[in-house]
Amino acid sequence: SYTTDSKSREENKKTLENLYSLSVDITKIRRLKEWVLLQDVAYVKEIAAILQEMGADETTVASIIERFPEAILHTPAEINSQRALWQLVCQNEKQLIKLIEQFPESFFTTEYQQNQKANILFFQELGLKNNIITRFLTSAPNIFYNPVEKNKNVIETLQRNYLNLGGSEANMKIWILKLLSQNPFILLNTSTAIQENLEFLQKNDFTDQEVLQLLSKLKGFIFQLNSTTMQKSMLFSKNTFKCSDQELKQLVLKCPALLYYSVPVLEERLEGLLKEGISIAQIRETPMVLELTTQIVQYRIKKLSALGYDIKSGNLESLNGTKKDFEVAYGKIQSKKERPIFNPVAPLHIED
């Protein structure tokens, strides 16, 4: 509903004056969202007053408007409703203003207030803690735009499948909450897609227990895939590692990335490892190394080589894992190298 034709319109003088009075950097707005300055109606003073009422100082107000200029086009009534909505999960207004400053776009998207409210209440009923819901509001706001029935449907599909795969009623709630907190974007999938992906795994001879194991390991990312890409990735791995169906299954359980990454990604990572002189046999032994990007692998090999550690002759365990895991492994190798060889029974030569 906002015009973007800047040639036929002039900047709104009143808007400019009000922004100047708040020390807002107008050149930033002109560069990013000039169309905001062309609108006939803007609520600069009113929005600033609401933010100040919540505890924002002048610098914070200016920063919020510079980062998300569209904020001034919302009516005070819309923003007060949004404020009340977010207060359902925020500890206090101090926390709320901090979130608005960091994620203004999430807060000032007010078109879906009814859906947002219904979803917040649903997540609370489900047992999600408020701090997790605030994280969703800021980092995955799209899931709140869905009608609550759609999200309920996805959750029910997950619950039903969890029980069908042999999961216990007692653990189901913990499993669902963990899955959601690790990857809220599973709610953007359809129930049908979830069902199809689970059936694909079962058709490929993964037992119910193994499917459950994969779901937990993949943090729900499996629901963002489709059977065609999974089939191609598995075929690529089977040909690369020259293994039987049973061996392939074990490799996938060890490293679900073989299922999750597309063939071009796996090809690129494999090529990067082979260029470093690492053999296919080594990769097959430690397939988790394919979870790392080529740049990370190169950086880690360089660091280990500087310590005299030859990755070609050893296993790849020391390359693996998160940044923290690698630093621990690196530290152990380093301290082993630096420790002097001391023979407790050798005579000590002490000069007079």
Task: Write out pLDDT tens, residues 279-332.
Answer: 999 999 999 999 899 999 999 888 888 888 888 777 788 888 888 888 888 888
**Residue 348 — pLDDT band, cuts 50, 70, 90?**
very low
Task: Write out pLDDT tens, residues 40-91.
Answer: 999 999 999 999 999 999 999 999 999 999 999 999 999 999 999 999 999 9
Alpha helix segments (H runs only) across the chain: 13-21, 26-37, 44-53, 58-67, 76-86, 93-102, 104-107, 113-126, 130-139, 148-164, 169-182, 191-203, 208-217, 227-241, 245-254, 257-260, 263-275, 280-285, 294-306, 323-338
Tokens of 68: 């998300």
Range(s) of the domain holding residue 106: 11-110
**Higher-pLDDT residue of 6, 87:** 87
Residue 51 near residue 80, CB atoms below 8 Å? no
Q: Is residue 64, in this structure, part of any structural domain at all?
A: yes
Span of 119-123, 182-186, 262-266 with lowest mean pLDDT:
182-186
**Residue 344 — pLDDT band, cuts 50, 70, 90?**
low
**Residue 127 — pLDDT band, cuts 50, 70, 90?**
very high
Q: Is residue 93, in this structure, part of any structural domain at all?
A: yes
Question: pLDDT value at position 64?
Answer: 96
Flag whether pLDDT at 4 surpasses 90: no
Task: Write out pLDDT tens, residues 194-229.
Answer: 888 889 999 998 999 999 888 877 777 777 788 899
CA–CA gap between residue 120 and residue 130 (Å, rounded): 9
The count of other CB atoms within 10 Å of the CB of residue 156 is 11
Distance of CA 137 to the CA centre of its chain: 13
Percent of the chain with pLDDT over 70: 93
**Higher-pLDDT residue of 120, 9:** 120
**Residue 246 — pLDDT band, cuts 50, 70, 90?**
very high
Q: Is residue 348, in this structure, part of any structural domain at all?
A: no
CA–CA gap between residue 31 and residue 29 (Å, rounded): 5
**Residue 233 — pLDDT band, cuts 50, 70, 90?**
very high
Calculate mean pLDDT across residues 118-136.
96
Calculate mean pLDDT across residues 229-236.
93
**Is residue 243 packed enough to be buried (19+ CB in 10 Å), middle (13-18) or exposed (0-12)?**
middle
Q: Is residue 91, in this structure, part of any structural domain at all?
A: yes
Q: Provide the domain count of the chain.
A: 1
Question: pLDDT value at position 268?
Answer: 94
Lookup result for tokens 């499996």: 222
Q: Is residue 83, in this structure, part of any structural domain at all?
A: yes
Question: pLDDT value at position 315?
Answer: 75
**Residue 352 — pLDDT band, cuts 50, 70, 90?**
very low
**Residue 339 — pLDDT band, cuts 50, 70, 90?**
low
How many CA atoms lie less than 13 Å away from 198 in the CB half-sphere? 23
Task: Write out pLDDT tens, residues 38-49.
Answer: 999 999 999 999
Task: Output the pTM of the full model.
Answer: 0.77
Q: Is 219 left (phi over 0), alpha (psi -120 to 50) or beta?
A: left
Question: pLDDT value at position 341?
Answer: 52
The count of other CB atoms within 10 Å of the CB of residue 17 is 10
Q: Is residue 17, in this structure, part of any structural domain at all?
A: yes
